[in-house]
Structure 1
Amino acid sequence: MSALQIKRADGILTVQDMGRPGHLAQGLSRGGAMDRLALLEAAALLGARAPLAAIEMAGAGGTFAVTGPLRIALTGAPMAASLDGAPLRWNASHALLPGQILRIGGAQQGVYGYLTPAGGIATEPWLGSRAAHLTIGIGVVLAAGAELPLGPDPDPGRPARALTAAARFGGGTLRLFDGPQTALFDRRVIEAFYATAFRRGPRGNRQGVQLEAGERFTTVQAKGLASDLIAPGEVQLTGDGVPYVLMSECQTMGGYPRIGTVLPDDLPIVAQAPPGAVLHLRRLTLTQALAAHRPEADVLRDLAGRCQPLLRDPATIPDLLSYQLIGGVTRGDDLDRA
């Protein structure tokens, strides 16, 4: 079995997949990748039928090596990447060989980058997932010296592919539908909330992301509100009226009022928004939200159809002269005879 070796870790590196849905009753939130779309993009590039366990790199990557030949995909927040010093295109698949060194630098845009092996990371699953859930102590932050087992590549000869990533690395518009406590807020508060241009605040992690604005959004009707179930995407307002978008490792119960819920399709925009990025909000009815939402299986199928062969720049191919660029030699008259 091949392995992925971490020679150096510069960012916060963890193993992530699509998480563990269905365990709220046991007090366990879904967890998984902050940018789920990045794992779908990686699956499309690698020809996988479903998302694979990957390394999520928050802020920066590191230095990596492999013990056997394999393919990888680099997706999510663009980061400067090179293989033995030769630059690699982001949002593309690449082949790695033993002895080569893969270097991934800091995020040039966005927050979370992803390194996905074609066979997926094959650490021991727990409740059907390999995702680290740091809030409750599942898994660890990866450090230099870690060696991760990999699953077999189902299609090792598949040519390298590239894909244009959806724009989501500098803020944008979030579509929301009403939450469980929207009706507790005065109409003027709701109108002001949706008219505000928020910035991604300085506070944020895998549990939630702060939306920053000069205005506060409160309601006296929330006094004594009973705690109930909460989930990723819900916009929760603290006691002083500051909104937070709950993310993959959010708590499972909460008593703060929720003014709305971000459409799951737009959570990658929240995850990848760097501090200071502008986020606009747009209110949808439930009917509109259901019509706008796309199942992840449909998204993966669409992404797979948009993948293109990766065209390499000859100037970046150090062993260009070793390739046979001419398949044969002819005098020309043989073509006339044919």
Structure 2
Amino acid sequence: MTAVQISRADGILTVQDMGRPGHLAEGLSRGGAMDRCALLEAAALLGVNAPCAAIEMAGAGGEFSVTAPTRIALTGAPMSATLDQEPLQWNASHLVLPGQKLRIGGARAGVYGYLTPAGGIATDPWLGSRAAHLNIGIGRTLAPGDSLPVGDDPVPERPAHGFVPDARFEGGTFRVIDGPHTALFSDEVLEAFYTTAFRRGARGNRQGIQLDADARFTSAHAKGLASDLIGPGDVQMTGDGVPYILMSECQTVGGYPRIGTVLPSDLPLVAQAAPGVILQPRRISLEEAIATIRSEAELLRDLAGRCAPLVRDPATIRDLLSYQLVSGVTCGDDLERV
């Protein structure tokens, strides 16, 4: 079986897919990729009909090779990438051959980059998913020397494709709907929260991300709340009024008050916010939120329509003169001799 081999790991590398939904009753949150949109983008670039397991690279990538010709997609936070020292376009698919060295550097913007083989990482699934869930000990971070099996490429003849992603790597506005505890906060606190331009705090991981501001957002009615179900996107207020947005590996129950819930479609923007980047909440109604809902199949279809065959820039082709660019060259006197 084809394998992706890791010879260097510079960031926090894990295998991630779309996670394990449906196990809250067993105390297991969904998990999966922090930027789910990046896996949909990879599927569109590779021409496959569903997202597959990828290598999630937090902060930086590393050095990789393959044991057989393998198509890959590079999506998510843009990172410098080279194949045998030749630059590769991000947000594009590429063919990697045995013996070639794929090097992926640090994130130029955002946090999480993704390396997705066309056949998907084919490690043994657990509860229907291959995703590492570090918070509860499912899987582990990847390390030099690891060799990851890759499934069969369903369309190996597909040429390289690229596309321009939606902007989500420099922060911005994220939408929030009211939650079960919104009414516990005074109108003054709610107004302050929604008019604050937060900085993505220094504290954050796959479990949650801190929003940092000079103000605090407390409620006199928050004490003694019974713990209940929580999930990705919930905005919890700690006892001292610091907001945290819960992410893919969050706990399944909690007792901190929740001022609202971030729309799932905006969580990739939150996940990709590097520390210090500005994040601005915007309150919307439930009706507005419902109107934005789209299935992953619809999103994948739209992304596929935005992909186009990749055209290489001649300025980046070092061995350009070795290619047969013209043929049938003559002295130019053909018609005269005829």
| Pairwise TM-score range, normalised by the shorter structure | over 0.9
Deviations 1:267-294 (A, max 9, x none): 0111000001001111011001110232
Q: Name 2:312's counterpart in structure 1.
A: 312
Give the AA of the match of 1:139: G
- Alpha-carbon deviation of 1:314? 1.6
Q: Which amino acid aligns with 1:27?
A: G
* Partner Cα separation in structure 2 for residue 5 and residue 332 of structure 1: 56
Match of 1:50 in 2: 50
Residue of structure 1 in register with 2:123 after alignment: 123
Instruction: Give a deviation string over 1:179-226, Cα, whole Å, max 9, x none.
Output: 111011111111111011111000000000000111111111111100
Q: 2:61 corresponds to which letter in structure 1? A: G
Match of 2:246 in 1: 246
Contact kept, 8 Å, 1:75 with 1:115, in 2: the verdict is yes
TM-score scaled to structure 1, two decimals? 0.96
- Work out whether residues 77 and 110 of structure 2, in 8 Å CA contact, stay in contact via their aligned partners in 1: yes
Q: Which residue of 2 aligns with 1:298?
A: 298
1:109 counterpart residue number = 109
Determine the C-alpha separation between the residues in 2 that align with 1:156 and 1:280.
42
Q: Which amino acid aligns with 1:160?
A: A
CA contact (8 A) 1:177 1:286 kept: yes
Q: How does 1:91-170 map to 2 (within 5 A)?
A: 91-170=91-170
What do residues 138-195 of structure 1 show as CA deviations (whole Å, max 9, x unaligned)?
0110000000000011111111000101111111000000011101111111111101
Q: What is residue 197 of structure 1 aligned with on the other side?
A: 197
CA distance in 2, matches of 1:272, 1:262: 14
Pairwise CA distance, 1:114: 0.3
CA distance in 2, matches of 1:60, 1:48: 26
Query: CA-to-partner distance for each residue in 1:269-325, whole Å, 9 max, x for gaps?
Result: 110000010011110110011102322221111110000111111232233344332
Q: Which residue of 2 aligns with 1:31?
A: 31
Counterpart amino acid of 2:118? Answer: A
What residue number does 1:177 align with? 177
Q: Which amino acid aligns with 1:180?
A: P
In the other structure, the counterpart of 2:235 is: 235
Query: What CA distance in whole angstroms lies between the structure 1 residues aligned with 2:294 and 2:267?
Result: 13
Tell me if the contact between 1:132 and 1:139 (Cα under 8 Å) persists in the aligned partners.
yes
Matches within 5 A, 1:71-110: 71-110=71-110
> d(CA) in 2 for partners of 1:332 and 1:309?
38
Per the TM alignment, residue 333 of structure 1 is displaced from its structure 2 partner at its CA by: 7.7
AA of the residue aligned to 1:225: L
Q: TM-score, with normalisation over the residues of structure 2?
A: 0.96
Q: Which moved more, 1:24-33 or 1:176-185?
A: 176-185
Residue equivalent to 1:6: 6
What's the Cα RMSD here? 1.5
Query: Conserved in 1, the CA contact under 8 Å of 2:15 and 2:53?
Result: yes
2:225 match:
225
Q: Distance in 1 between matches of 2:296 and 2:266?
A: 12
Distance in structure 2 (CA, Å) of the matches to 1:58 and 1:311: 29
Tell me, what secondary structure is at the counterpart of 2:221?
helix
3-state SS of paired residue (1:220): coil
Whole-Å Cα distance in 1 between the matches of residues 95 and 326 of structure 2? Answer: 24
Distance 1:328 1:155, change over 3 A: farther
Provide the secondary structure at the position in 2 that maps to 1:221: coil
Change (3 A) 1:156 1:227: same
Aligned-partner residue type, residue 199 of structure 1: R
Contact kept, 8 Å, 1:2 with 1:68, in 2: the verdict is yes
Return the alpha-carbon distance in structure 1 between the equivalents of residues 211 and 229 of structure 2: 21
**Identity percentage of aligned residues:** 74
**Counterpart of 1:163 in structure 2: which amino acid?**
F
1:332 CA drift (Å): 9.8
Can you list the C-alpha shifts for 1:208-254, whole angstroms capped at 9, x where unaligned? 00001111111111111000000000000001110000000000000
Whether contact under 8 Å (1:263, 1:293) holds in the other structure is no
In 2, the alpha carbon distance for the partners of 1:119 and 1:246 equals 31
How big is the shift at 1:329?
5.8
- Matched AA of 1:59: G
Contact 2:48 2:155 in 1 (8 A): no
What is the correspondence of 1:260-299 to structure 2 with a 5 Å cutoff? 260-299=260-299
How many residue pairs get matched? 335
CA distance in 1, matches of 2:126, 2:99: 32
Contact conserved, 1:233 with 1:246, CA < 8 A, in 2?
yes
